[in-house]
Amino acid sequence: MTTFMTVSSPTDWKQLYETVPSEFKESYSRLKRAAEVLTTDPEPEVGLTPKEVIWTKNKTKLYRYVSDQPKKHKLPLLMVYALINKPYILDLTKGNSLVEYLVNQGFDVYLLDWGTPGYEDKNMKLDDYILDYIPRAVRKVLKTSKADECSILGYCMGGTMTSIFAALHPDLPVRNFIFMTSPFDFEDTGLYGSFLDERYFDIDNVVNTLGIIPPEMIDFGNKMLKPITNFYGPYVNLITRADNEKFIKSWKLLQKWVADGIPFPGEAYRQWIRDFYQNNKLIKGELVIRGRKVDLKNIKANVLNLSAERDHIAQPHQVEALMDVISSKDKEYVSIPAGHVSVTFGPKAVKITYPTISGWLAKRSN
């Protein structure tokens, strides 16, 4: 004869729950919290360091970060981000923001935000960003800060674009350049080389068909470099660590940024793939921007070049290659034990990246 337990009241349910092994209770609790994060938790606020818009052009905005603290350094710092994703990765949250850190260290910090391109921007080229936007932003920074010189920090593709700007504008008063996980040599790009091989990837057909490249396409390509880690890893980590609210806060911030992509103007994308990934023109000295050949040896300013040891988007050898071609007498290469994103957000960023940049810049900003 089989006896079934009848559960008819909250007390009965509580008694039954007490018989469940503790490891099952913990697993259920984590799964429940993970479900809340994915369905009902509010999106986190980002980009919280106070700022004001001081210049605009088309969709682009130039921000100046404001602070009650006195400026300790003469030279202002302009940050330039990539044409992919949004630049608030540099100012993700209080206590874990490169922008906030540098502002608190007494730097006069500016950020060039490219904005969100629309279909009407499909003919925008790298030439336009590098020759029309960055120089004007530099002049506006100098005028606003009343400084004679400035520094520029380029992150990811923003650093690659900044290097081209630097090579083509040796006349502009930029004393210091900081390149953070920016690729310069595209000879060996890992899986990107296979994905973008001109025998299989028809860049003209892609651009002519789409006009502007949707962010989902860029994101998918980046994630395919490590598909298991990138597609499933975040959710496995969320479930296994859902009892850690500090982890959940960081998880939500990072996933918000990863999902917050922007379109890539078609003509700029055509150049980026063909001239860099397919033909490696920059490091070879063969890149031409609006009729002008780009020679990286024209860069003579002070340079801090940062790579991330575990970076699979801009691999360390792609980043370090810059050191052999520039003419700078004061140049330093540093490899940070982090990844492409964790170099600027996370414990390693706070402990290593931020002080490295601040310390190097402080010595060269007065």
Q: What is the pLDDT of residues 166-216, one digit of tens each?
A: 999 998 999 999 999 999 999 999 999 999 999 999 999 999 999 999 999
Active-site position among 108, 156, 185, 275:
156
Per annotation, catalytic residue among 311, 317, 324, 330: 311
Within 8 A by CB and 6+ apart from 123, the residues are 265, 266, 267
Residues 275, 300, 273, CA angle at the centre, nearest 5°? 10
Q: Whole-angstrom Cα distance, residue 329 to residue 302?
A: 7
Dihedral sign, Cα of residue 267, residue 273, residue 279, residue 285: positive
78-115 pLDDT tens trace: 999 999 899 999 999 999 999 999 999 999 999 999 99
Where residue 241 falls among pLDDT bands split at 50, 70, 90?
very high
**306-350 pLDDT, tens digit each:** 999 999 999 999 999 999 999 999 999 999 999 999 999 999 999
The residues, any chain, with a CB within 8 Å of residue 353's CB and separated by 6 or more, are 98, 180, 306, 336, 338, 343, 344
Residue 352 phi/psi, 5° resolution?
-120, -55
- Determine the Cα–Cα distance for residues 245 and 251; give it in Å rounded to an integer: 10
CB 182 within 8 A of CB 163: yes
Instruction: Examine the residue annotation and report whether 340 is marked as an active-site residue of this protein.
Output: yes
For the segment 263-280, the average pLDDT, to the nearest whole number, is: 98
Range 132-143 burial, b when 16+ CB lie within 10 A, else e? bbbeebbebbbe
pTM of structure: 0.92
311 counts as catalytic: yes
Q: Which two tokens stand for residue 179?
A: 């390149």
